[in-house]
Chain A
Amino acid sequence: MQNKQKKVQSKRKGAFLGVTPAIIFLLVFFAAPFVVLLYYSLLTIEQGDIVSGPTLQRYIELLSDPFTYYLFGRTIGLSFLVTALSVLLGYPVAYLHSKLKNPTLKTIILAIVSAPLLTSSLILTFGWIVILGKNGMVNNLLISLNIIDEPLKILFTMSAVIIGLTQVHLPFMIVPLVSTLQNLPSDLEDAAADLGANKWQTFWQVTLPQSIPSITSGVTLVFVLAYTAFTVPSLMGGSAMQLVSVYIWNTVRSLAWDTAAALSSILLLTSLIIISIINFVSRRLTKWQHS
């Protein structure tokens, strides 16, 4: 008995040794830098040198500037639009995948969904530049159909950023939905059909409510990724359509590190608040499951 306890204890100690290197690494290179970031947001830094601090000066400046609200408001609004579009475009793909019987078609859909997931967003952005550019696919198509005479300016507008962000993050919406809808027991849908519900009603009252948890994880993921995305807005937005991340990048480049640190903290804080709101709403919507 005593022997056994000893054995368990030695196992316990040895096991903790396994996690220690990873924990130390993240403490030194992830947690500590994060503390420095928060500390920098309280300082006054000129040309990369600390001048004075710590004060709340940077936050007061930012929060009394209407541009800050405009910048964050625009980015948040745009990210919600991207999230809504990816639910609208992503759900049908996952639903179709769950209803198809042909295994080849199913594999093709999964391959189409996972290829952009693993392709870097830089590459996808380049593709959209070819599609939406002045001499691009959309403009040449519209001109050859005689719909327009002059190429439209699509690239470097808000629409381009929305299209790019939606496509890049769409797979993050589809993948959790595919695994949920795939594993949804068909009994409930059959029962609804037996009770006289048509497909439309069954979808709205049986299938959709059951997929709310995975819609929530998709929505959270897409929102956060779109809100903090850098590649698409920096290359497709142009200088007129700056979003928070691109603005922060420019602030770091102009060596206003204190402001960049404060903006990064606001970015993180706002995304945490929005994630909590999304999860709160989702829990409200799925109350029937918990009770």
Chain B
Amino acid sequence: MAAQLTTTPKADQNQKRRVKKPFMDIFGTVLLVILAIISLIALVLPMLVIVIVSFDVGPFLRFPPEVFSFERYQAIFELNGFVESLFLSLRVAGIVVAADLILGVPASIALVRGNFPAKSFIIGFLQSPMMIPGIVVGISLLFYMSFIGVNVSVFLMTISHIVITMPFLTNITYARMRSADPVLEDAARDLGANRWKVFQHIVLPHLLPGIIGGSAFAFLLSFTNLPTSIFTAPILDVPMPVYLFRLMIYNINPIVAPIATLQIVLTLIILIIGNKTVGTGGLMGIE
């Protein structure tokens, strides 16, 4: 009798829980899906909107547009200084990638294969520019150049881009190098290959996806950098992001829309290259 009495409330409780169960599950699932959809829409919305307004006309931005035209695309080429900025940015990004590769690839091979003291400290040091905000890197280089008496120039901007992009490229090639099998290199060496041969036939082919993905990412980072360039770029010779920033800061010029659309296309191409080579996570340094 007593036992029965104690089981009854327990059974009751069980039933209560069973009633609660589906409600909380449905509520949780609905909440989850709603939040996920909101954030996925928010993630793509700015890009979609840019592409749509790039085909509008007129001196002001509006949404939705009322016409479809290529007027804004044609107007890009009449923009004063646009082509110069574009070529400057492309040139700087190219030099930056080359410098990143020359500095970063040997460093990542050495860090994986070498056997020297304070390795983790060196890795930390090579990654440290990633921890410092872009504006601080820019400001400190600006002050440094004035301190040693060198004028702000394209050279300074290039240097600042190498500082901020090199850790990303090194990270990607380092992760790639760590997954390489040292036995293959030893075997090649035992078979009489010299250092260069080992690099050329064993190390380089394995590193190649990391080199391509890392270079594409470094190129993009340099090509789109604003927070550092705004301090290190010369006032008259401005790169694309600073040029666009000036078109946006006081009065928005709608000509930015087609330029932004073209940059989105470039980004998608680089995203595909990255996905095919190191994966999206790999681009961010996540294994």
Interface residue ranges, A against B (CB under 8 Å): 8, 11-12, 14-19, 21-23, 25-26, 29-30, 32-34, 36-37, 39-40, 48, 88-90, 92-93, 95-96, 109-131, 133, 135-137, 140, 163, 166-167, 170-171, 175-176, 178-179, 198-200, 203, 224, 227-231, 234-235, 245, 248-249, 252, 257, 260-261, 264, 267-268, 271
Top-6 shortest CB links A-B: A127-B46, A15-B114, A18-B110, A120-B224, A228-B133, A33-B144
Residues from chain A with a CB closer than 8 A to the CB of B227 are 229-231, 245
Q: What are some 28 contacts across the A-B interface (CB < 8 A)?
A: A25-B103, A25-B162, A29-B141, A29-B162, A29-B163, A36-B140, A89-B38, A111-B271, A114-B271, A115-B47, A115-B264, A116-B47, A118-B274, A122-B245, A130-B257, A135-B60, A136-B61, A170-B39, A170-B42, A175-B286, A230-B135, A230-B226, A231-B226, A231-B245, A234-B245, A245-B135, A245-B227, A252-B231
A126's contact among B35, B115, B257, by CB below 8 Å, is which?
A: B257
Partner of A175, one of B62, B63, B128, B280: B280
Q: Which of B136-153 contact A (CB under 8 A)?
A: 136-137, 139-144, 146-147
Report the separation of the CA atoms of residues A224 and B244 in the bound assembly, to the nearest whole angstrom: 25
Would you call B122 an interface residue if the criterion is a C-beta within 8 Å of the partner chain's C-beta atoms?
yes
Selected from A118, A166, A175, the residue in CB contact (under 8 A) with B267 is: A118
* Cβ–Cβ < 8 Å partners of B142 in chain A: 252
Q: In the complex, A36→B271 CA distance in Å?
A: 37
Also in contact, A15 and B43, with CB within 8 A (given A34-B140, A140-B64): no
A62 to chain B, nearest CB (A): 16
Which residues from chain A contact B129 at a C-beta distance below 8 Å?
26, 30
Spot the interface stretch: B69-77, B80-88, B90-98, B248-256: B248-256
Residues of A within 8 A of B231 (CB): 249, 252
The answer to whether B248 touches A129, judged by C-beta atoms less than 8 angstroms apart, is yes
Which residue of chain B has the shortest Cβ distance to A121 in the bound complex?
B226
Could you tell me if B114 and A16 are in contact, using CB atoms closer than 8 angstroms?
yes
- The reply on B40 being an interface residue by CB < 8 A is yes
B143 pairs with A40, CB closer than 8 A:
yes
B162 contacts which chain A residues (CB < 8 A)?
25, 29
Contact B136 A26 (CB under 8 A): no
Chain B residues in 8 Å Cβ range of A234? 245, 249
Task: Give chain A nearest CB distance to B25 CB in angstroms.
Answer: 5
Question: Is B13 on the interface with A (CB-CB < 8 A)?
Answer: no
Q: Tell me if B133 and A33 are in contact (CB < 8 A).
A: no
Interface contact A123-B103, CB-CB below 8 Å: no
B113 within 8 A of A: yes
Please report the C-alpha to C-alpha distance between residue A229 and residue B227 in the assembled complex, in whole angstroms.
8
B155 nearest CB across to chain A (Å)? 11
- A229 vs B36: C-alpha distance when bound (angstroms): 25
Q: In the complex the two chains form, is B241's CB within 8 Å of A261's CB?
A: no
Q: Which residues of chain A have C-beta atoms less than 8 A from B187's C-beta?
A: none
Chain B contact residues: helix, strand, loop or mixed: helix
Asked whether, in the complex, the Cβ of B35 is within 8 Å of the Cβ of A12, the reply is: no
Taking CB atoms, residues of chain A closer than 8 Å to B28 are 199-200, 203
B60 CB to nearest chain A CB (Å): 6
> What are the residues of chain A within 8 A of B110 when measuring CB–CB?
15-19
Kindly provide the distance from the CB of B241 to the nearest chain A CB, expressed in whole angstroms.
Answer: 6
Contacts of B249 in A (CB 8 A): 234-235
Using known A-B contacts A88-B35, A110-B280, A228-B135, determine if residue A119 contacts B47 with beta carbons closer than 8 Å.
yes
Q: A25-B163, A118-B271, A123-B50 are in contact. List 16 more A-B contacts (CB 8 A).
A: A22-B126, A25-B103, A25-B166, A37-B136, A118-B274, A118-B283, A120-B225, A126-B46, A126-B260, A129-B61, A130-B49, A130-B61, A175-B280, A200-B25, A230-B226, A231-B226
Nearest chain B CB to A129's CB is how many angstroms away? 6
Distance between Cα atoms of A33 and B61 in the complex (Å) = 41
Contacts of B256 in A (CB 8 A): 126
- Select which of A115, A120, A140 is within 8 A of B43 by beta carbon: A115
Interface centre among A11, A30, A136 (most CB of B within 10 A): A30
- Which residue of chain A lies nearest to B31 when distances are taken between CB atoms in the complex? A92
Closest chain A residue to B64, Cβ basis: A140
Within the complex, what minimum Cβ distance (angstroms) separates A278 from chain B?
A: 14
The distance from the CB of A89 to the nearest CB of chain B, in whole angstroms, is 4
The interface residues of chain B lying within 8 Å CB-to-CB of A260 are 139
Contact A264 B139 (CB under 8 A): yes
Question: How long is the Cα–Cα vector from A127 to B244 in the complex, in angstroms?
Answer: 13
